[in-house]
Amino acid sequence: MERHKFKYIEGEIYRLHDTLKEIKLIEYEILHGYSNHSEDPQAGRTSVRAISDTTAVKATELVEHKRLKRMREKTDAILKAYNNLVDEKKDLIKLYYWDRPGELTWDGVSKELNLGRATAIRWRNAFVHKVAEEMGEK
């Protein structure tokens, strides 16, 4: 895998929890009336008023929101790859990307998890490649 693509996938992994929060925020805004649609495009003209099913409009927005769709695809790919790991590998990914991001070197991670440095890096590389595959980036 090309280096820039590897770094892009890693960035998405690092930002997983922020992306999940942003998804919830966008969904909340859509569901609670922060919509771009106007129910009364020309006030006072009864013959022009739009008759709409607000539930259907909100459901359609949730499904068709392009950014929300891309964010869901990315988080789903990361979580699917993560959930298919054995517990030891999950511990590595959780520690390195989410619990203490940027805090530990590979020597520190391997020491904390009682692994060899090369094994820790190999597991990380396999995880990033699996995420890339799930995202359709490979």
Q: What is the pLDDT of residues 37-66, one digit of tens each?
A: 444 445 555 555 555 666 666 666 666 668
pLDDT at 89: 96
Q: Which of 115, 67, 118, 106 is nearest to 87 (CA)?
A: 115
Residue 41 contacts by C-beta under 8 Å, 6 or more apart in sequence? 48, 49, 50
Residue 33 or 17, more confident = 17
Mean pLDDT of the chain: 84
Give the CA dihedral 86, 90, 91, 95, nearest 10 degrees: 160
The domain limits of the chain are 3-36+52-135
pLDDT at 4: 94
Q: What is the pLDDT of residues 74-98, one digit of tens each?
A: 999 999 999 999 999 999 999 999 9
Report the run of H or E that residue 58 belongs to, with start and end. Answer: helix 54-64
